[in-house]
Amino acid sequence: MKKYAILLNPRHSRVYFEASLKLSVAELTLALSHAGHKDFEIIEESFGSVPYLCFRCQEPVNEKTLERLSRCSFTYALFEVCKTDGEPCFTPLSLPNPLYIDGGISCILKYSGKTNENFTRFMINLALFSSPFYGEKIKLLDPVAGKGTTLFEALSLGYDAYGIELSEKAAHDAFTYLKKYLEIERFKHRTGHETINIKESSAGAKRVFAELSRTKQEMKENAVKRWEMVWGNSQYADSYFKKNSFHIMVGDLPYGVQHGNVSSSRQGSFTRSPKELVSLCAPSWHKVLKPNGVIALSWNSFVFSRQQFAKLLEDAGFSVFCGEIYESLEHRVDNSIKRDLILAKKL
Ligand SMILES: C[S@@+](CC[C@H](N)C(=O)[O-])C[C@H]1O[C@@H](n2cnc3c(N)ncnc32)[C@H](O)[C@@H]1O
């Protein structure tokens, strides 16, 4: 058996680092399985007091494995480990660069309520590894986008990124930040906005968007990435977007402790219940996801249970992923938040 050691990403915050060890085992398991490895064992091990995530596998790593490992949220460096005179000997392995845009795009903007960008990458990866769409031109929707961490992470991976956000300020801040970033980093881009009128709500909505490319030639050939944010209510996702549009949906739901979330209309009454939000929105989320598309949502499991969440998704036509990997993702964020992640497929 071959043995490999992964040096964990030092970008992780201290609080997240402890939880991330457990999460990274799940991400690594899905990444290795997705790359076609059948017989492997994952071990947490320290060398010289530095923790590594190690794995032994029957087949040596190949291009497919390296490509998947390079995009994992925890990967910083990969080594092949041999024993020389009884001592471990590390040979560094080159990883391909999985990024279309430098990952810094999702880290620069800081604000309270921001979802950790590594956790966001983790959610995107789990959704993608659980879907049949890996390697395709991905369209991602974050139905509760905030100031866009998921959208920026998705863009950095080269996906078309779409979001819906109830707070006008958050949607506006995300768009303003993106425009500034594209100017400073000299991306070729065009931006625009439009009002959306829908029959389901008198509140209306607004769409802001950007199309970008790295070179003039790409722009000329229309080889662009699209970024879009709808300032509106996720309950009307199917009025803002066409049916069967998205390969994956990834979102970090309001935690139900600090921030109110509105469920009845864009300017409607505030509720602190993410459960109510899911029950109102799940039917329209189901419509805009492609068949076999995967939705990954994180939430505060102190507020409602996995069983309750699964039932809401199943009632809307989703099939929830079960099994050890998918049911071992709960981790403590602070005293009032225990975060969990649920993944489900549109049948
Ligand atoms: C935990 S935050 C997401 C943070 C985001 N991932 C980020 O890093 O910026 C949840 C977001 O859901 C939004 N939200 C709540 N109810 C909503 C609804 N019905 N439609 C759209 N967005 C909603 C809230 O305004 C909040 O910004």
Q: Pick one of 1.20.1740, 3.30.450, 1.20.1530, 3.30.70 as the CATH number of 2-93.
A: 3.30.70
Residue nearest to atom 26 of ligand 1 (CA): 146
Q: Can you tell me the mean pLDDT for 27-35?
A: 97
75-84 and 160-165 beta bridge pairing: unpaired
> What mean pLDDT value characterizes the chain?
92
pTM for the model stands at 0.95
Q: Which of 123, 144, 198, 299 to mutate to test the pocket of ligand 1 (most atoms within 8 A of CB)?
A: 144
Model confidence over 32-77: pLDDT tens digits? 999 999 999 999 999 998 989 999 999 999 999 999 999 999 999 9
Angle at 287 between CA 283 and CA 291, to 5 degrees: 120
Give yes or no for residue 53 CB within 6 A of ligand 1: no
Cβ atoms of 290 and 320 within 8 Å: the answer is: no
Nearest atom in ligand 1 to the alpha carbon of residue 255 is 1
Q: What does each C-alpha distance from 131 to 34, 151, 325 come to in angstroms?
A: 10, 19, 15
pLDDT attached to residue 12: 62
- Domain segments of the chain as ranges: 2-93, 103-346
Model confidence over 150-166: pLDDT tens digits? 999 999 999 999 999 99
Q: Which of 121, 165, 196 to mutate to test the pocket of ligand 1 (most atoms within 8 A of CB)?
A: 165
pLDDT attached to residue 90: 96
pLDDT band of residue 263 (cuts 50, 70, 90) is very low
Burial of 289 (0-12, 13-18, 19+ CB in 10 A): buried
Model confidence over 67-122: pLDDT tens digits? 999 999 999 999 999 988 888 999 999 999 999 998 889 999 999 999 999 999 99
Helix H or strand E segment including 253 = none
Nearest atom in ligand 1 to the alpha carbon of residue 280 is 19
Identical fold for domains 2-93 and 103-346, yes or no, is: no
| Distance from the alpha carbon of residue 117 to the mean position of ligand 1, in angstroms | 15
Q: Which of 114, 115, 166 to mutate to test the pocket of ligand 1 (most atoms within 8 A of CB)?
A: 166
Nearest atom in ligand 1 to the alpha carbon of residue 150 is 6
Superfamily per CATH, domain 103-346: Vaccinia Virus protein VP39 (3.40.50.150)
Please check the confidence at residue 235 and state whether its pLDDT lies above 80. Answer: yes
User: How many CA atoms does the CB half-sphere of 116 hold within 13 Å?
Assistant: 18
